[in-house]
Amino acid sequence: TRQWILANKPTDLPVFSGPNATFKLETKDLPPLKDGQVLIQAIHLSNDPAQRGWIDKHVDPARLYVPPVQVGDIMRASAVCKVVASKAPKLKEGDLIQGFTGWAEFAVVDADTLNPIPGTDKISPTHALGALGLTGLTAWYGMVHVVGTKKEDAVVISGAAGATGQIAVQIAKNVIGCRKVIGIAGGTDKCKFVESIGADVCLDYKSGSFQDDVSKAVKEAGGAEVYFDNVGGQILDQMLSLLNRHGRVAACGAISDYNSSEKNAIRNYFEVISNRLEIKGFIIFDMYTRGLADEGLKALTDAAISGKIKLGEKSETIVKVPFEKVPETWMMLFEGGNWGKLVTTLE
């Protein structure tokens, strides 16, 4: 099988050629199947900003929430795969599963580490990586459990056209019924889309007038109680100055900092103290350890069936490429090249 191996840990933007190339393509033999194992073929790969943190050169393993990927390891990734051969009673040839099987065309894995995807022609299996998978659950967990968003809250969501953000927008507006939902995304087309799925207004952070625009929109809403933060950096900094007293931040991600060894500094820190703000970081895996994942998945599925969460064409960006193009496709995340969940479908 072919596999993408971590070759050099990056400090800044990953590179794709030369002696410092971040990844290298290798061909390896697979071990024979043991009892309880299956041979899988990857069909759809999940692209996650978090993967950048797992390979960073300066990350302290003791401070990370999962073991970092080491040089020489297969690049870790979630995927939808087909079972090609099985020595496990719970899976048979042809079954679809989701698992952390990595950037590999084929792999031998323990069946117990895999989640079967129920066969349905109504919902594409790719949603098991996005709206009805870890990213949808991230939006649910952050919005509902981490900051306990209520109808009375005005909510601001950054990364609002992305996989997590667009589900967060729809949970806030269409499931919880928040009094005001303000999105933040890159570009007018993305902003129009975010408004079409329920945001009262969406602001383009790439526009020269963004700081004034967001300030005006939040003030017109009577301030905001909740900020669902996917990006960190300067937008978080400004949001600290716009949240109402006792406002809550669901600290989900900080993508504006992931590819830079020079991290953004927060200038408005005193706002946290002065206005008794709460900034709560969270990791989606906590939803499983707290036993909340099944309930969250059911709520998301019900919302998708009732139309409160839309699984339309912009809920995912499916890029069909040969295996050689897997790393470059992942990098589209950091260029804003995706609407909703960025999925690599292997040719």
Footprint of ligand NDP on this chain (CB under 6 A)? 48-50, 135, 138, 159, 161-165, 185-186, 190, 230-231, 252-256, 282-284, 333-334, 336, 338, 342
Question: Which lies closer to ligand NDP via its Cβ, residue 37 or residue 338?
Answer: 338
Tokens of 31: 């071990």
Residue 266 burial (CB count, 10 A):
16
What distance in Å separates the CA atoms of residue 34 and residue 282, rounded to the nearest whole number? Answer: 37
CB of 136 to ligand NDP, least distance (A): 10
Question: Which lies closer to ligand NDP via its Cβ, residue 86 or residue 315?
Answer: 315
Question: Which lies closer to ligand NDP via its Cβ, residue 1 or residue 259?
Answer: 259
Question: Which lies closer to ligand NDP via its Cβ, residue 126 or residue 135?
Answer: 135
CB of 13 to ligand NDP, least distance (A): 11
- Calculate helix-pair angle for 188-196, 163-170, nearest 10 degrees: 40
Q: Which amino acid is at 202?
A: C
CB of 219 to ligand NDP, least distance (A): 22
CB of 242 to ligand NDP, least distance (A): 17
Name the E strands within the chain.
2-6, 23-27, 37-46, 79-86, 96-99, 106-110, 115-116, 154-158, 180-185, 201-204, 224-229, 243-251, 278-281, 316-321, 341-346
Q: Would you call 83 helix, strand, or coil by DSSP?
A: strand
CB of 8 to ligand NDP, least distance (A): 22
Question: Which lies closer to ligand NDP via its Cβ, residue 303 or residue 333?
Answer: 333
CB of 107 to ligand NDP, least distance (A): 22
Q: Nearest Cα to 144, choosing from 274, 284, 23?
A: 284
CA 286 to chain centre: 15
CB of 310 to ligand NDP, least distance (A): 15
- Sequence-ordered list of residues with C-beta below 8 angstroms from that of 57, at least 6 positions apart, any chain: 9, 10, 11
Question: Which lies closer to ligand NDP via its Cβ, residue 175 or residue 250?
Answer: 250
Question: Which lies closer to ligand NDP via its Cβ, residue 161 or residue 311?
Answer: 161
